[in-house]
Structure 1
Amino acid sequence: MFKKSLDSIFRTWLAGLVALLPLALTLALIGWVISLLNRFIGPESIVGRVFAALGHPFADSRLAAYLLGTLLLAVALYPLGLAVRSSLKRPLTRLIDLTLRRLPLIGGLYNMADRFVGLLDQKEEADIAAMSPVWCFFGGDGVAVLALMPNPEPIELDGRTYCAVLVPTAPVPIGGGLLYVPTDWVRPANIGVDKLTAIYVSMGITPPPALRRAVADADTAQQD
């Protein structure tokens, strides 16, 4: 009788934990994002000091100067958006091409950031088709990994062709590893980048669509 009572209490407690866990994980993820933003654009960051310098002539308090500087920058983005959407877009793009894109290291970083922002903004000039989710079957028929192929062009290593794939991390897929795997290990996932992101953010709770063997074999035959 006593054992059954303890078992009932434990099951009830476990049900409460399971009910609270999604909310706790959501709050933890939100807290992590806020702390990350505070680290990079908070009052103590380099960007935050720039914001504070913009607002310093109008406010004495450091926090008030930071908030005012942030507000001034946010307001300044509107005329910049008008310029981008108007006929000035092409001259601005040409100016960036003649300056930032030609710098050896900064140009590469800017191109990478521009492609990533283009994916988020769904811009036509962002090569979305070139960055496609794929399945990687290690060993040819072993462990399956859902990854992102940044470039469909294979490279040759020691007489064998390889593809570059990015393997994200869960639950925040903004990092990961760059791997070069044999081309015959790779299959199209037939999903979008948003679906891949949702799968990693959910830590696998959101299942990916099934990959049919017939489709995989047909893709292999086309490549051959």
Structure 2
Amino acid sequence: MIPTPPQSFRELASKIFSTFLAGLLAFLPFLVTIALLGWVGSLLRGFVGPHSLVGTLLSAIGLQLVDGEGMAYVVGALLLLVGIYVLGVVVQTRMKTYLEKLVERTIKRLPLIGPLYDVTDRFVGMFDRSAQADLTAMSPVWCFFGGEGGVAVLALMPNPAPIEIGGASYRAVLVPTAPIPVGGGLLYVPIDWVKPADIGVEQLTSIYLSMGLTQPSSQPGSAKSASV
């Protein structure tokens, strides 16, 4: 018969394991961050390094101006950075509209490249300050589908002005698509279903990016008594 370990020993082992687990969970974000940075670095080196396809093209451009592969790569990379800066100047002017129309008519219509570009464009848009500025102009609201006591959904209201549909008043709300808050479904819901949410756009964005792990500070029950 195997002797049962003392209660104090089991408590000590449980405490040690809990402490170790807490330390591991605290260390994991740093480990994952370092691993991701290393992966991104190796990915960039593979794509734009001196021996990659892009690096070969940059070196070929630089060889037109200087001798030596190393210096040619540096010159080519500098020319690329200048080109990116010029593109940034263009998209900050009225030329951005013409550039977007050109992309719509060319790249986005390609069978395989178009959908891939669209997904990439949405992902990059998450880090675009101008897109975030557009979001701040919207008001976070609770939508109670079916009326108060129904399904509560966090959404963004782009315009507080109601719209008449079939003799009834509705409000336009944008229900974000997790984990990309800049897109989603535009719904017109009855005006009585919409209540203000006492949270900011940044918190709403973090809630959708965490896919529900982050809880809203304003619960639906506290928003029912308010009016938009």
Q: 2:57 aligns with which of 51, 54, 61?
A: 54
> What residue is the counterpart of 2:202 in the other structure?
194
Larger Rg: 2
**Structure 1 length-normalised TM:** 0.55
Matched to 2:176, the amino acid is L
Q: Deviations over 1:66-99 (max 9, x none)?
A: x986665334333444x45xxx954523543663
Classify 1:207/1:101 alpha carbon distance in 2 versus 1 (closer, same or farther; 3 Å): same
**Structure 2 length-normalised TM:** 0.54
Checking the alignment, whether the CA contact within 8 Å between 2:140 and 2:201 is kept in structure 1 is yes
Q: State the identity %.
A: 32
**Alpha-carbon distance in 2 for matches of 1:207, 1:133:** 14
Checking the alignment, whether the CA contact within 8 Å between 2:176 and 2:208 is kept in structure 1 is no
> What residue is the counterpart of 1:166 in the other structure?
176
Q: 1:93 aligns with which of 83, 86, 96?
A: 96
**Alpha-carbon distance in 1 for matches of 2:39, 2:105:** 34
Checking the alignment, whether the CA contact within 8 Å between 2:136 and 2:201 is kept in structure 1 is no
SS for the counterpart of 1:128 is helix
Higher relative contact order, structure no. (Cα contacts within 8 Å, ≥ 6 residues apart): 2
- Structure 2 gaps of 5+ residues are 63-67
Alpha-carbon shift at residue 137 of structure 1 (Å)? 3.3
Q: Deviations over 1:3-40 (max 9, x none)?
A: 3202211222112212321331454367568768987x
- Structure 1 gaps of 5+ residues are none
> What residue is the counterpart of 2:217 in the other structure?
209
Matched to 1:8, the amino acid is L
Checking the alignment, whether the CA contact within 8 Å between 2:142 and 2:155 is kept in structure 1 is yes
**Alpha-carbon distance in 1 for matches of 2:210, 2:201:** 14
Matched to 1:135, the amino acid is W
Alpha-carbon shift at residue 201 of structure 1 (Å)? 4.8
**Alpha-carbon distance in 1 for matches of 2:155, 2:101:** 34
**Alpha-carbon distance in 2 for matches of 1:128, 1:43:** 35
Classify 1:92/1:25 alpha carbon distance in 2 versus 1 (closer, same or farther; 3 Å): same
Give the number of equivalent residue pairs: 202
**Alpha-carbon distance in 2 for matches of 1:185, 1:37:** 48
> What residue is the counterpart of 1:11 in the other structure?
15
Classify 1:4/1:196 alpha carbon distance in 2 versus 1 (closer, same or farther; 3 Å): same
